[in-house]
Structure 1
Amino acid sequence: MMCKIWVTRFLPAMAALLAGVAGLPAAAQQQSPEAAAAAYAALAPQEAARAGDPEFDYALGIAALDSGNYGAAIIALQRVLAVQPTNAAARAELARAYALAGDIDTARREFATVVDDPSLPDPVRQRFTGFVRQFDRQIAGGGSDVSGFLDARAGHDDNINAATDLTQITIPLFSFLGPGQLGPGARAQKDEFYELTGGVSGVTAVSRQDRLFASVLGSWRDNFDTSAFDTASLTGTAGFAHSFANRDVLSLSGQVQRFWLDGDGYRNSYGAVAQYTNVLSQGRAITVSAQYNRLDFDNQPLLDADRFAVALGYVTRNLSATLSAGKEETRRQAGDAYSNWFANASLGGEYPLTERLAVQGGIAFDMRRYDAADVLFLVKRHDERVDAQIGLKLALTDSLFFQPRASFTRNWSNIALYDYDRFTVSAGVRLEF
């Protein structure tokens, strides 16, 4: 009989406990929230007169706990244990109340006491011992985790070099010569392509509130008919994150990147990022970040620059929005025409259509204002660009997805050489692990 009581009451209760603590789906509790709220409303007015009666305090504690009144539940259940210190059922409920209230340390101690109770049936003892181990893991910071992805896709790009579709252009500095013919590399080129992208990231806890993290991300894009605009990149990131008592997170990280064009080294980038995340309810968060990067271009010293940026972001379970701005300053005065102020706004999201199908999309706006006049066109360059993307994500298995996608870019510039549009379509598969 005792085993049946423990199983029917406490195993669902502990599943609910872990749902509140570890984000797992909750099993059905013995009382529905509505029934618990009604029971608590009926019992709470009697507390002044009946407090100290273990049966009343236990019933009040259960009703308070199941209706979300964790503080009242803790007080009522503590009164039960003051009179009946060997009441394992009341102690298990008290542990659940502490856990749902966020006090994992006290919850773990109360559970350990319950596990040592000789009246506890073995099947229940084994489950409770597992819960204690999970609390130990949380107290230690969550342990370590490794995840990653691999994305392979192919498609068509009508402007692989992000260039104008004009064939002739007049350069003000040489206007007396009339319009000049643009070479193939300066005109929009279309081609089919395939692209491989993959990454691995890991995190390990060094204490309850502190974690170390690192990731490596690589990409390779090959155009079928020409290699002049084939690209590849490799990015490494490593850092430290601290979680505060209110669940907010401060992270500091360093980042290095190598970028290749047509198989040859093109640019190195290395820098640092500081980010503060304010965690809100219902899967939402606000982020504030500051970033510095040093850009070193192979054999193009006039492009070498320091880049500073700040950003504000808002994320939900299905949506992310970001505002950012900053300055890219060339390190040589002769390169001032490439120095610029920039601002960016982006919005993206993923919305499920069915259990296995979701639509993905995003739009971004980028604005740049350059510091000095272009040496050939004799004006300060200013650009505005819009990027839009839409696609589907179809789950073939729990970790394998089919993703068709289309994207469009339009860049407006006061210098005709940099005024262009671009359209791509592609399809691929993504493996997540």
Structure 2
Amino acid sequence: MLVKRDISSSFNADRRARQALRVGWRALLLAGALALSGVGGAQAAEATALADSDAEFNALFQQSLKRPADVDLAFRLARRAIEVGDYEAAIGVYERILFYDPKLVRVKLELGRLYYRLGAYESARAYFQPISDAAALTPAERENIAAYLVEIDRRLSTTQWSIYGQVGVRYQSNANYGPSNRLVIGQDVGALLPPSYAAQADGNAFALASIRHVYDFGNQRGDVWESNLNLYYSQQFQLEQLNLGFVEFNTGPRFALLPDALPGSSVRAYVIAGGVALGGEGYLGTYGAGASIYAPFSRWFGLEPFVEIRQRDYQNTADYPTAGFQTGEMWTVGANVFGRVTDDIGWRARLSYNDASGQLPWYSYNTFAVDVALPIEFQGLWGVKRWVAIPSAGYTRYSYDAPNPFISKFTAQVDNQYRVGLALDVPVHEQWGLLTQIQYSWSDSTLPNYAFDNFSVSVGPNVRF
């Protein structure tokens, strides 16, 4: 029998709406992925006192006074000064080394790093810039200097902006995320889904932007006020009820956490506000707050745990007449993990758990999600910078709190969704390039209504500055 357009088919429509939203979310997450701490006077004095009380440092210092031209001894003294946190003493030692041999590139590199840690950014730049292309340094060291110079320019400016944007076209084999089989369940009996609800291929044109603003408090610790604006819009070629508009803004302070022991570490608190339009009508408004800790333990491993709470207010529309039942709170806890495998290969992963409440129990659910990506840089066929290939894989489990009686009184919906993809970012100019993405996703479900598969490919120019 045919399934009529009742509350169960509306539930199917709301499910397709949620899938469309996830497409937009993942596009913005990739945009964000493609779109960086000093010692105060009291800390410096404390470090100097620690150095003065360190027996090894004092022994090396006394030996260095007797043999001031002993470069190896001076290196040992400088390294020990850094270990005990007396950067000013290490600077003095390294500058004395340069007096005897002013051509030592790696000594200039260490001096640049030390001045940077002390917040003396102009002095750091004076050492970094002359050696930025030095043949004596490894490619990784030259890349590191380039990153320092960018960050120094940023920190010497009270206000910084960064923008990433892309426009393009996307094709999907199952744009409405219709079930793989037209034979579904309605009120615990088999039903034949009308063709309009089955999987339908479609394309769209889309545009997205991620805009970040940072106001530096100028206290040499690296404390800032950070704001982020994410925008996305897609216009379907045929399925206009899936036209998607998305905006989200978050803002809040980011404070240096351990500027000396763990340079770059920070803690951030922020507020969130956003909205979604679907099919040309207002669909969702959301607001909330969150907090995160950023901890780059090394070049090879970093961690950013976070927690958020949002209030989600859904609006019923002509295309989605039961959307309002999804209104409720959503808690999210998770972590971004990142690092490098080699100089050319990075890695990042995102894990999250959501607990979302709705006005009806079958609209309440929890999810667990994990996504992993492996950015690989290599020399491409052309362009001013190296190309980046990004293979990725992900998994999400959706578990609803209760069965939807309009579909099945006995079986609650549990979905296991999988995805694999590949993106290729080809720089054409210093600030713009071409991004191509392909992805295949599929879902197994306790209810055949929600099992689907979808192949998508998108391409378009991107810009960052």
TM-score (norm 2): 0.66
Query: Residues 403-422 of structure 1: matches in 2 within 5 Å?
Result: 403-422=435-454
1:162 maps to 2:177: yes
* Counterpart for residue 347 of structure 1: 372
> Aligned match of 2:390 in 357, 360, 363?
360
* Counterpart for residue 338 of structure 2: 315
In the alignment, the residues of structure 2 paired with residue 77 and residue 241 of structure 1 have an alpha-carbon distance, to the nearest angstrom, of 29
> Aligned match of 1:64 in 70, 75, 89?
75
> Aligned match of 1:326 in 341, 351, 354?
354
1:372 maps to 2:406: no
> Structure 1 pair 201/57, CA: closer, same or farther in 2 (3 Å)?
same
Query: Residues 22-421 of structure 1: matches in 2 within 5 Å?
Result: 51-53=64-66, 56-57=67-68, 59-60=70-71, 63-64=74-75, 68-71=79-82, 100-101=113-114, 105=118, 143-173=158-188, 175=189, 179-206=190-217, 207-209=219-221, 210-244=223-257, 245=259, 246-247=262-263, 248-282=265-299, 284-299=301-316, 300-317=323-340, 318-330=346-358, 332=359, 335-354=360-379, 356-376=386-406, 377-378=408-409, 379-421=411-453
Residue 326 of structure 1, CA deviation: 2.9
Q: Which amino acid aligns with 1:157?
A: Q
> Structure 1 pair 96/399, CA: closer, same or farther in 2 (3 Å)?
closer
In the alignment, the residues of structure 1 paired with residue 91 and residue 399 of structure 2 have an alpha-carbon distance, to the nearest angstrom, of 65
In the alignment, the residues of structure 1 paired with residue 94 and residue 392 of structure 2 have an alpha-carbon distance, to the nearest angstrom, of 56
Unaligned 5+ segments in structure 1 are 1-20, 23-43, 112-133
Q: Is the 8 A contact 2:119 2:220 kept in 1?
A: no
> Structure 1 pair 107/155, CA: closer, same or farther in 2 (3 Å)?
closer
Task: Indicate the SS of the match to 2:357.
Answer: strand
Q: Is the 8 A contact 2:277 2:283 kept in 1?
A: yes
In the alignment, the residues of structure 2 paired with residue 152 and residue 181 of structure 1 have an alpha-carbon distance, to the nearest angstrom, of 38
> Structure 1 pair 146/171, CA: closer, same or farther in 2 (3 Å)?
same
Q: Which amino acid aligns with 1:195?
A: F
In the alignment, the residues of structure 1 paired with residue 279 and residue 199 of structure 2 have an alpha-carbon distance, to the nearest angstrom, of 17
Q: Is the 8 A contact 1:363 1:387 kept in 2?
A: yes
Q: Which amino acid aligns with 1:208?
A: Q
Residue 71 of structure 1, CA deviation: 4.9
Residue 308 of structure 1, CA deviation: 0.7
Instruction: Give the number of the structure whose residues are more often strand, by fraction.
Output: 1
Residue 413 of structure 1, CA deviation: 1.0
* 1:368-412 deviation per Cα after TM superposition (whole angstroms, max 9, x unaligned): 211111112112111110122112111111211112211111111
Identity of aligned residues (%): 13
Q: Which amino acid aligns with 1:323?
A: L
* 1:215-242 deviation per Cα after TM superposition (whole angstroms, max 9, x unaligned): 2111111111231211111111111101
In the alignment, the residues of structure 2 paired with residue 375 and residue 301 of structure 1 have an alpha-carbon distance, to the nearest angstrom, of 18
> Structure 1 pair 253/79, CA: closer, same or farther in 2 (3 Å)?
closer
* Counterpart for residue 3 of structure 1: none
The range that moved more, 67-76 or 207-216, is 67-76
Residue 307 of structure 1, CA deviation: 0.7
Q: Is the 8 A contact 1:61 1:77 kept in 2?
A: no
Bigger Cα Rg? 1
Higher RCO (C-alpha 8 Å, min separation 6): 2
Task: Indicate the SS of the match to 2:401.
Answer: strand
> Structure 1 pair 184/231, CA: closer, same or farther in 2 (3 Å)?
farther
* 1:294-318 deviation per Cα after TM superposition (whole angstroms, max 9, x unaligned): 1110123311021111113310152
In the alignment, the residues of structure 1 paired with residue 250 and residue 61 of structure 2 have an alpha-carbon distance, to the nearest angstrom, of 59
Task: Indicate the SS of the match to 1:228.
Answer: helix
Q: Which amino acid aligns with 1:211?
A: V
Give the RMSD, CA atoms, in angstroms: 3.8
Task: Indicate the SS of the match to 1:189.
Answer: coil
In the alignment, the residues of structure 1 paired with residue 395 and residue 121 of structure 2 have an alpha-carbon distance, to the nearest angstrom, of 50
How many equivalent pairs are there? Answer: 353
Q: Is the 8 A contact 1:336 1:371 kept in 2?
A: yes
Q: Is the 8 A contact 1:167 1:187 kept in 2?
A: yes
* 1:276-310 deviation per Cα after TM superposition (whole angstroms, max 9, x unaligned): 12221226311111111111101233110211111
Q: Is the 8 A contact 1:395 1:401 kept in 2?
A: yes
The range that moved more, 386-395 or 64-73, is 64-73
In the alignment, the residues of structure 1 paired with residue 172 and residue 347 of structure 2 have an alpha-carbon distance, to the nearest angstrom, of 27
Q: Is the 8 A contact 1:195 1:220 kept in 2?
A: yes
Q: Is the 8 A contact 1:74 1:97 kept in 2?
A: no
Residue 213 of structure 1, CA deviation: 0.9
> Structure 1 pair 71/171, CA: closer, same or farther in 2 (3 Å)?
closer
Q: Is the 8 A contact 1:313 1:322 kept in 2?
A: yes
Unaligned 5+ segments in structure 2 are 1-36, 39-56, 125-148, 317-322, 341-345, 381-385
Task: Indicate the SS of the match to 2:180.
Answer: coil
In the alignment, the residues of structure 1 paired with residue 123 and residue 281 of structure 2 have an alpha-carbon distance, to the nearest angstrom, of 62
Residue 79 of structure 1, CA deviation: 9.4
* Counterpart for residue 461 of structure 2: 429
